[in-house]
Chain A
Amino acid sequence: MMLMLHSLPFLWQGLLVTLHVSALVVVISLVLGVVLGVGLSFGPWWVVWPVRLYSDMIRGLPLLVLIYSVYYMLPLTGWSVPSFWAAVSALAAFQTAHVIEVTRGAVQSIPHGQHEAGKAIGLGFGQRMIYVVMPQALRRFLPPWINTVVSTVQGSALVSLVGIVDLMFSIQQVIGRTFKPMPLYILGALIYFAINYALSLTSRALEARFAYIRE
Chain B
Amino acid sequence: MNYHLNYYFIWKYFGRLGWGLVVSLELAIVSILIGCLIGLTLAVVSHGARRPVRILVGAYVEFVRNVPLLLLVYLVFYGIPSVGGFAYSATTSFVMTLSLYAGAYLVEVFRAGLAAIPKGLIDAGRAIGLTPWQRVLYVRLPSMFRIVLPSLGNAFISLFKDTSLATVLAVPELTFGANWIYTNTFRIVEVYTVVAPMYLITGFVLLFGLRRLEHRFAIRRR
Where the two chains meet, the residues of A that have a C-beta atom closer than 8 Å to any C-beta of B are 57, 60-65, 68-69, 72-73, 76-78, 150, 153-158, 160-161, 168, 171-172, 175, 180-182, 185-186, 188-189, 192-193, 196-197, 200
Q: How far is the CB of A211 from chain B (nearest CB, A)?
A: 16
Contact of A76 among B1, B78, B80 (CB under 8 A): B1
Nearest B residue to A157, CB-CB: B68
- Name the segment of B34-42, B114-122, B142-150, B160-168 touching the other chain: B160-168
0/1 interface trace, chain B 159-192, chain A, CB 8 Å (1 if under): 0011111011000000100110010000011001
Inter-chain contacts of A182 with B (CB < 8 A) = 75, 79-80, 82-83
Contact across chains for B66 and A185 when beta carbons are under 8 A apart: no
Inter-chain contacts of A175 with B (CB < 8 A) = 78
Q: What is the predominant secondary structure among interface residues of chain B facing chain A? A: helix
Count how many pairs of residues, one from A and one from B, have CB atoms less than 8 Å apart in the complex. 110
* Residue with the highest number of chain B CB atoms closer than 10 Å, among A153, A156, A189: A189
Inter-chain contacts of A156 with B (CB < 8 A) = 68
Inter-chain contacts of B200 with A (CB < 8 A) = 57, 60-61
Nearest B residue to A195, CB-CB: B66
* Residue with the highest number of chain B CB atoms closer than 10 Å, among A69, A77, A161: A69
Bound complex: CA A192 to CA B29 (Å):
28
Inter-chain contacts of A155 with B (CB < 8 A) = 68
Q: With A64-B167, A185-B74 in contact, do A192 and B66 touch (Cβ < 8 Å)?
A: yes
Q: Chain B: interface residue count, which band?
A: 35 or more
Bound complex: CA A77 to CA B189 (Å):
11
Nearest A residue to B80, CB-CB: A182
Apart from the given pairs A57-B200, A189-B67, A200-B62, 15 other A-B contacts in the complex at a CB distance below 8 Å: A60-B161, A73-B188, A76-B3, A153-B68, A154-B67, A154-B68, A157-B70, A181-B79, A182-B82, A182-B83, A189-B72, A192-B68, A193-B66, A196-B67, A197-B66
Contact across chains for B69 and A154 when beta carbons are under 8 A apart: yes
Bound complex: CA A185 to CA B72 (Å):
8
Q: With A62-B161, A65-B196, A68-B192 in contact, do A158 and B82 touch (Cβ < 8 Å)?
A: no
Q: How far is the CB of A162 from chain B (nearest CB, A)?
A: 12
Minimum-distance CB pairs A-B, first 5: A157-B68, A196-B66, A62-B164, A62-B161, A154-B68
Contact across chains for A60 and B67 when beta carbons are under 8 A apart: no
Where the two chains meet, the residues of B that have a C-beta atom closer than 8 Å to any C-beta of A are 1, 3, 62-63, 65-72, 74-75, 78-80, 82-83, 161-165, 167-168, 175, 178-179, 182, 188-189, 192, 195-196, 199-200, 203-204
Bound complex: CA A161 to CA B203 (Å):
24
Q: How far is the CB of B143 from chain A (nearest CB, A)?
A: 27
Inter-chain contacts of B168 with A (CB < 8 A) = 161
Contact across chains for A193 and B204 when beta carbons are under 8 A apart: no
